[in-house]
Structure 1
C-alpha cells in the first residue's frame, strides 16, 4: 500500500475518535488569549498520541514537533484555538457549555483536524524524512493577533523561513471539497472607532444643540467616498460600519455618538493612504458642523498572500488526494486572518476546507449562533493536511 492510501486509511480509521475530540472542544470554548483549558486538553491529546517535544508559545499556545526517520526539510502546520463572544443557538448535545462563548468560526475544527494530522504523521514517522512543526495558536480573533506573539518566541524564530500551511472551514463549500487561491487571497483589516462629541439637549430645541446624531449620519455617508471615489477601481476595498451608539431618546439629543467599523483592502500603501484620508474627511465634517471628533484606527492584520509556487503545488497535491472534482479555485475573500503575518515573512499556503451540507441543513455562515459543520469534513481535513505536509517535505 502506498503512503497516500495509508494516510486515507488512517484518517478513516481514526475519524470517529476525532469527532469526539471536536465535540469536546466545541463544548468548552474559550475567548482569545484565555485558552487555558483548551491548551491543556490539546497537550493531553498530543501526549496520548506520543508527542513529547512540546513547547509553550504565546502563553496559551503550543508548538509540537514530529521528526521523521532522517533530517530534511521542515514545514509548519498551524491551527488557531480561540472562540467568539456569541451565544450558541444550536440544540445539539455538544453545544457550548460556556455561556456567551461559541466556536462559531470553526477553530474547534482546525484544532481537531491538526490533531488528526498529527496522529497520522506520528504513525508514519518512519516513512518520511524531515520535520513537521505543529502550531496551536491562540488569539486569532482579537488584535494584535496571536500570530504576532508567536513570531516573537525564540522557538519560532529558531525555525527560520520555512513553508507554513493553514486551513479554514468554509460552510459555503460542501464537506469533502477544498479550495485554493494563489497570490492575493484575504484582505487586511483595520478597526475604526469614531467619537463625535456635540451638545445634547431637548429635541424640540435643536438650535440650542450640536446634534451628534445628525453629524454621524453625514459622516457615515461621506466616508464611503474613500472607497467609491478615492480608491482605484483595480484595488478591492471595503469600508463598513457595524455599530452606532447614540444614547439619547425620541425627544433627547445626546451629547455624543460613537461609530465602529472596519476597513479592508489588499494594497498596503493604499491602506495607509485610505486611513489618512478617512481620518481627515471624518474630522473635517464633524468639526465643520461644530462638533469635536476623535478618530482611532488601530492597525490590524495585513493582507494574506499565498505563495504561488507552494500553493500551486499544494493544490496539485489536493487533486491527487481528493480528485479534481473536489478541489475548487477560490475568489478573493475580504475576511481577514492573522495567518497573514506568517505569509508576509514565509512561503505560505492558506486554503479552505468545506464543511457545509445542504441536505443535512448545515448551511449557517461563520460567526453566526447556528454555525455547525458536517463532521465528515474532519476526515478530509486531517488526512489532506497530512498528505500535503509530506508532499512539501519531498
Structure 2
C-alpha cells in the first residue's frame, strides 16, 4: 500500500463522523428538484469552511468549486453529486428521519452530497500531492426533467476549466456494503415520458353501435405498440416500453368520451430512440383514426442513455481494485433506469459507478424510490475515500 493510499484511508476514517453528520442533516431536511435552496447554502458553507470559494446559483441551486493541486491547468477531473429528494413520505423509524412531510431522500442523494463533501475535505488536505484540478459539481434536479445536469452544462459547468473527465457515484441497494460496481460502455437507458389522449364518443355501454369507444381504441393501441419493440428493434438493442397509467373515467355501463394513458420509453441507442418514437406516434394515431376516433401523442423528452467511457472506466476500476481489493470490485449489468449524469457522458469522457449500501443481516434491503430506503452507513467511509483515490489516480496518471 502506497503512502498516499494509506493517507487517504486514514483521512476517510478520521472524517467519517463528519460525513455521517452531514448525511443526517441532509436526510432530515430534504428538498425537491429545483428547490434545493437550503441544501445549496449548506453545501456552499461547508466548502467555504474548507477554504474553498464556491460558485453558487449555477442552474438555480447548483454549486461548483475547484480544488487546485500542482500545475492546476495540466488536467481537470470533475466529480459530481446530486442534491434533490423525492416526493415520498418516509416510513423509516430512524433518528435522522425526514422532517419534511411527503419529501424524502429515497434515492441516496444525501449520501452522494455528503460523500462528495467528504471527498472535498480529503482532497483539500492532500492538494500538494496531485497534479491538476478537481472540479466539484453539486447538482440540482437529477430527478426531474429536463435534469439539472443539462441545465448546468448549458450554463458552462464543463467550461472554465473544462474537465477532461467526469466521475459520478451512486448508491446501490442491490450491492453489499463494502463492494463497488463498474460497467464499461452502455450502462443506463434513455428516458422519455409518453402521454396519450384517445378520443371518441362516449355513451351508454348497452348501445355500442351508437358510440366510438375510446376504451377499446386505447386497449388496441397499448397492445399494438409493443410490436414496435418485438418487430422493429434489433434483438441486441435493449428497449423497454411500459404504460403505468390508464384512465377511462366511466362506470360499469358508461363509456367515457376519452381515455388518457401515460407511459415510459427507454433504450440505449439515440437513433433507435427517435425512430421508435416516430413509429409509436404513427401507429397510435393511425389506429385511432381507423377506428373512428383520434389520438393525441405527446412526448416529454427525458435523459439520453448513459455510456461509461471504456478506457476511463477501466482505469477507474483498476484504481478501485488498488483501493478496495479485487474481491470487492464487481461487474454491473445493464440497468434500464435513467440518470441525468448521462448528459455529461454524451459530451465528455465519463464514468458512473455504484457504491454498495446493502446489508441483509440488518434488514437494509429496500430499493431506491421506496419509503423504506436506507443505507448501511459503513459506505460513508468508503465513498469519500474511494472517490478521492480515483480522482488522484486519474490526475497523476502519466
Q: TM-score range by the shorter chain?
A: over 0.9
When residues 313 and 190 of structure 1 are mapped into structure 2, their CA distance, relative to the original with a 3 A threshold, is same
Does the CA contact (< 8 Å) of 1:27 and 1:94 recur in 2?
Answer: yes
Instruction: Note the alpha carbon deviations across 1:168-223, whole angstroms, 9 max, x for none.
Output: 11100011111001111111111111111122223333333222222221111111
**Which residue number corresponds to residue 43 of structure 2?**
42
Does the CA contact (< 8 Å) of 2:135 and 2:163 recur in 1?
Answer: no
Write the distance in 2 (CA, Å) between the matches of 1:95 and 1:19.
Answer: 14
Does the CA contact (< 8 Å) of 1:49 and 1:119 recur in 2?
Answer: yes
1:357 pairs, out of 356, 359, 380, with 359
Instruction: Note the alpha carbon deviations across 1:64-103, whole angstroms, 9 max, x for none.
Output: 1111143331110000111111121112121211121111
Does the CA contact (< 8 Å) of 1:305 and 1:348 recur in 2?
Answer: yes
3-state SS of the aligned residue for 1:239? strand
When residues 299 and 155 of structure 1 are mapped into structure 2, their CA distance, relative to the original with a 3 A threshold, is closer
**Which residue number corresponds to residue 26 of structure 2?**
25
3-state SS of the aligned residue for 1:12? helix
Structural RMSD (CA) = 1.4
Instruction: Note the alpha carbon deviations across 1:255-299, whole angstroms, 9 max, x for none.
Output: 211111111111111111110111111111222222221001122
CA-CA distance at 1:240 after TM superposition: 0.7
Write the distance in 2 (CA, Å) between the matches of 1:88 and 1:296.
Answer: 32
CA-CA distance at 1:346 after TM superposition: 0.5
Write the distance in 2 (CA, Å) between the matches of 1:115 and 1:390.
Answer: 16
Write the distance in 2 (CA, Å) between the matches of 1:211 and 1:12.
Answer: 65
Q: Which moved more, 1:207-216 or 1:353-362?
A: 207-216
Write the distance in 2 (CA, Å) between the matches of 1:97 and 1:313.
Answer: 41
In structure 1, stretches of 5+ residues that fail to align are none
Write the distance in 2 (CA, Å) between the matches of 1:212 and 1:156.
Answer: 48
Does the CA contact (< 8 Å) of 1:186 and 1:303 recur in 2?
Answer: yes
Instruction: Note the alpha carbon deviations across 1:102-153, whole angstroms, 9 max, x for none.
Output: 1111111110110110111111112222110000011111111111111112
Write the distance in 2 (CA, Å) between the matches of 1:161 and 1:10.
Answer: 25
1:219-234 matched pairs, under 5 angstroms: 219-234=221-236
3-state SS of the aligned residue for 1:47? helix
**Which residue number corresponds to residue 257 of structure 1?**
259
In structure 2, stretches of 5+ residues that fail to align are none
CA-CA distance at 1:303 after TM superposition: 0.9
Write the distance in 1 (CA, Å) between the matches of 2:101 and 2:369.
Answer: 16
3-state SS of the aligned residue for 2:232? coil
When residues 161 and 112 of structure 1 are mapped into structure 2, their CA distance, relative to the original with a 3 A threshold, is closer
Write the distance in 1 (CA, Å) between the matches of 2:341 and 2:297.
Answer: 27
2:313 pairs, out of 305, 311, 314, with 311
When residues 85 and 327 of structure 1 are mapped into structure 2, their CA distance, relative to the original with a 3 A threshold, is same
1:272-291 matched pairs, under 5 angstroms: 272-291=274-293
Does the CA contact (< 8 Å) of 2:165 and 2:349 recur in 1?
Answer: yes
CA-CA distance at 1:310 after TM superposition: 0.6
3-state SS of the aligned residue for 1:156? coil
The number of residues matched between the two structures is: 394
| TM value normalised by structure 1 | 0.97
Tell me whether 1:121 sits opposite 2:135 in the alignment: no
| TM value normalised by structure 2 | 0.96
Write the distance in 2 (CA, Å) between the matches of 1:36 and 1:55.
Answer: 10
